[in-house]
Amino acid sequence: MSATTYLDALRRAMLEEMDRDPAVCVLGQDIAAFGGAFRATRGLYERFGRLRVVNTPLCESGALGAALGAALAGMRPVVELQFADFISCGFNQVVNNLAKTYYRWEAPVPVVLRLPYGGGVGAGPFHSQSPEAWFAHTPGLCVVAPATPRDALGMLKASIRDPNPVVFLEHRFLYRREKEELPDGEELLTPLGRARVARPGDHVTALSWGWTLHECVAAAEELARDGVSVEVIDLRTLVPLDEDAVFSAVRRTGKVLVVHEATATAGFGAELVARIADHCFEDLDGPLRRVTYPDRASPYAKSLEQSLLPGRARIAQELRRLARY
C-alpha cells in the first residue's frame, strides 16, 4: 500500500497503461521533460521517450485534431489540456470531429482529454471553470469526473482503454489534497458509467461529483449529528449516466439534492432533475433542489470566489430543508 494523491494516481494510471500498451501516447503543452503544469506526466518522458510523450506548441485545436488523426492511425492518445478552460480554443475538434466520427464512420476514436478543472484556489475567470455541461450536451463524448485517488487511477485507466473519446475532468483542487492508501502492483480499474455510494444514508439523497462530492460528504456528516441520514452518491461518470443507481437511490429516500460546482443554468444538474422528474415523479416526497455556482464568472480574489462556491454550509442548509418535507 502507498499513500497516493489524486495527482499521483493520474500519473500511475498513465504509466501503467503506457507500459501495458505501446499505442498509448500523451500529447500536450510542457508535458515532456517538465512533466506538465501540474507535473501529472512527470517521469513519463524519461521512460517512454519523445515519440510517446509529445510536447506540442500552444495549439489546443491542433493537438485535439492531431489526437483524432493519430487515433484513426492506431494510437491511443491522451491529450493534456493545461487548464480545462483552454479547451474552448479546440471546441470544434471536440464536439464535431472527436464526438461525431464514430457515428459517421464507425471508426473507434480512443482519445482521452485530460482537463484540470474547477476553482477554489483564487485563479480567476479563466482557470477555474467546470465545463462538463458543454460536453455532456454533445452525444458521442463520454464525460467523467472522479472525486477520489482510487477513481482517478481506475477511471483514467478505463478511459484510456475505452474506444471512445472521453472528457476526463480532474479537479485540480483535489490534486494534492486528496490522498488515499492504494495497493501497489494491483490492477485497479473503475468501470465507466457506474456511480458509487460515497456515504450510505436513508433520509435524503445528495448527487454530486468532483470537489462538491467531498463537500456533500462533510455536510452529511454534520447532519448525521442531528439524526438526519444523508446518502451521498458520487456519479463519477456523467455520460453515460448510471440511471439505475440514481433512480433507485431517489426511490429509496424520495428526496434529492443535486450539487455541482458548475454554474446553474443548463448545468448538468438540470439534466439530472429532469430525468428524475421523468422517471421518479411518483416516488418524490419533496422538491427537486439544486445547489450550484451562481450564474457568474469566477472572480479572482479568494474571498469573492469563496462567497460563490457551493460549499458544505449551503449544502447542509438545503439538505436540512429537504429533510423536513
Q: Are 117 and 129 in contact (CB under 8 A)?
A: yes
User: For another protein, which is the closer residue by CB, 64 or 315?
Assistant: 64
Among 13, 14, 18, 25, binds another protein (CB under 8 A): 25
Decide: is 2 part of the binding site for another protein (CB under 8 A): no
Q: Are 291 and 315 in contact (CB under 8 A)?
A: yes
Q: Which residues contact 304 (CB under 8 A, 6 or more apart)?
A: none
Decide: is 275 part of the binding site for another protein (CB under 8 A): yes
User: For another protein, which is the closer residue by CB, 42 or 100?
Assistant: 100
Minimum CB separation from another protein for residue 71, in Å? 8
Structure-block grid coordinates of residue 263: 454554474
CA–CA dist 299, 307 (Å, integer): 10
Between the two ends of the chain, the Cα-to-Cα distance in Å is 44
Does 127 participate in catalysis according to the annotation? yes
Decide: is 241 part of the binding site for another protein (CB under 8 A): yes
Q: Pairing state of beta strands 179-182 and 166-171?
A: unpaired
| Interface map 158-197 toward another protein (x if CB under 8 A) | x--xxxx-x------------------------xxxx---
Of 127, 171, 203, 260, the active-site residue reads 127
Minimum CB separation from another protein for residue 166, in Å? 8
Minimum CB separation from another protein for residue 238, in Å? 11
CA–CA dist 262, 269 (Å, integer): 9
Q: Which of residues 60-99 bind another protein (CB under 8 A)?
A: 61-75, 77, 92-93, 96-97, 99
Interface stretch with another protein, choices 35-43, 146-154, 172-180, 271-279 (CB under 8 A): 271-279
CA–CA dist 149, 132 (Å, integer): 20
Minimum CB separation from another protein for residue 162, in Å? 5
Amino acid occupying residue 197: V
Interface stretch with another protein, choices 139-147, 202-210, 215-223, 295-303 (CB under 8 A): 139-147
Minimum CB separation from another protein for residue 109, in Å? 7
Among 26, 54, 206, 309, binds another protein (CB under 8 A): 54
Which single residue is written with the C-alpha cell 462556491? Answer: 309
User: For another protein, which is the closer residue by CB, 89 or 264?
Assistant: 89
183's torsion region: left (phi>0), alpha (psi -120 to 50) or beta? beta
3-state secondary structure at position 42: coil
CA–CA dist 273, 175 (Å, integer): 29
CA–CA dist 315, 318 (Å, integer): 5
Minimum CB separation from another protein for residue 121, in Å? 29
CA–CA dist 52, 44 (Å, integer): 9
Q: Are 52 and 24 in contact (CB under 8 A)?
A: yes
Interface stretch with another protein, choices 52-60, 123-131, 294-302, 310-318 (CB under 8 A): 52-60
User: For another protein, which is the closer residue by CB, 68 or 219?
Assistant: 68
Q: Pairing state of beta strands 230-234 and 204-208?
A: parallel
CA–CA dist 26, 78 (Å, integer): 5
Residues catalogued as catalytic: 127
**Site for another protein, rule CB under 8 A:** 25, 51-52, 54, 56-57, 59, 61-75, 77, 92-93, 96-97, 99-109, 139-140, 142, 158, 161-164, 166, 191-194, 237, 239-244, 247, 275, 278-279
